[in-house]
Structure 1
Amino acid sequence: MPDAARRIGLCHRDEIVDGSARGFDPFDSGQDALFVVGHGGQPYGYRNACPHVDGAPMAWRRDAYLNSTGTRIVCYAHGAQFLPESGRCVQGPCLGQYLQPVPLEVDGSGVLYAWITNRE
């Protein structure tokens, strides 16, 4: 990981199951800076900002990052839909653009960590 990044503990890996998502506020700013989605048995982390309008939060309420079937990430401000495994926009005003990934790591005890910088 880059020198400017630091490892922040988020939760236990088992708390992020397929078809679910959870936001995290590691800087205690009052708004989630990143979110993690479970898909295909893997956790995927992304910055909580739609690429269509940089900085626009993705969820319409706490931890509401997915569509009703849990198969796509949705920006509720713009209706854009993203693939959980890549963050690529497949529908909406930012078609072909990507969510900014946040590197994740799971340690031997199952704790999920994010490598973040202050700009996350």
Structure 2
Amino acid sequence: MKFLCAGAELAESSSRGFEIDGEKLFAVRRNGQVYVYINRCPHRGVGLEWTPDRFLDPSNSLIQCATHGALFLIEDGECVAGPCAGQSLTTIECREDAQGIWVSL
């Protein structure tokens, strides 16, 4: 497991981008749970963020691709609207402990 960040660095209902060993990732915290995905839209392979660390729609309830507006469920990365409906983001296994958030790469 590789260290991603301290838990306090990922606030509730927020997202952050990261790069570890050349792999671009992003993390979202929702209802106290952390979800981590590879930062790549399944439609065109582009990064998802609007601006640095901004991966969520205006309501902070869905992940949104800045390029095509595709919407993804935070909990499992499934695309529920847009050109890649039915596809999913690539999930990265993660865990959180007293030291922070860790990912399996």
TM-score by length of 2: 0.92
Post-superposition Cα deviations, 1:48-101, rounded to whole Å, max 9, x if no partner, equal: 0001112x1001210010011111100001110001001011110001111000
The within-5 A match list for 1:43-82 is 43-54=34-45, 56-82=46-72
Cα separation, 2, equivalents of 1:17 and 1:85 = 16
Larger mean Cα displacement after TM superposition, 14-23 or 38-47: 14-23
**Identity percentage over the alignment?**
37
Q: Match for 2:12: what amino acid?
A: D
Equivalent position of 1:112 in the other structure: 101
Aligned length in residues: 105
Equivalent position of 2:12 in the other structure: 18
Cα separation, 1, equivalents of 2:88 and 2:12 = 21
Report deviation, 1:110. 3.7
What secondary structure does 1:113 align onto? strand
Q: Match for 1:44: what amino acid?
A: Y
User: Quick check: which has more Rg, 1 or 2?
Assistant: 1
Q: Which runs of 4+ in 1 moved over 2 A?
A: none
More strand by share: 2
Q: Match for 1:67: what amino acid?
A: D
Do structure 1's residue 97 and structure 2's residue 87 form an aligned pair?
A: yes
Stretches of structure 1 that go unaligned for 5 or more consecutive residues are: 1-6
Which of 23, 27, 31 is the matching residue for 1:36?
27
* Cα RMSD for the two superposed structures: 1.3
Equivalent position of 1:4 in the other structure: none
Q: Match for 1:114: what amino acid?
A: V
Q: Match for 2:59: what amino acid?
A: T
Report deviation, 1:41. 1.5
Cα separation, 1, equivalents of 2:99 and 2:32 = 14
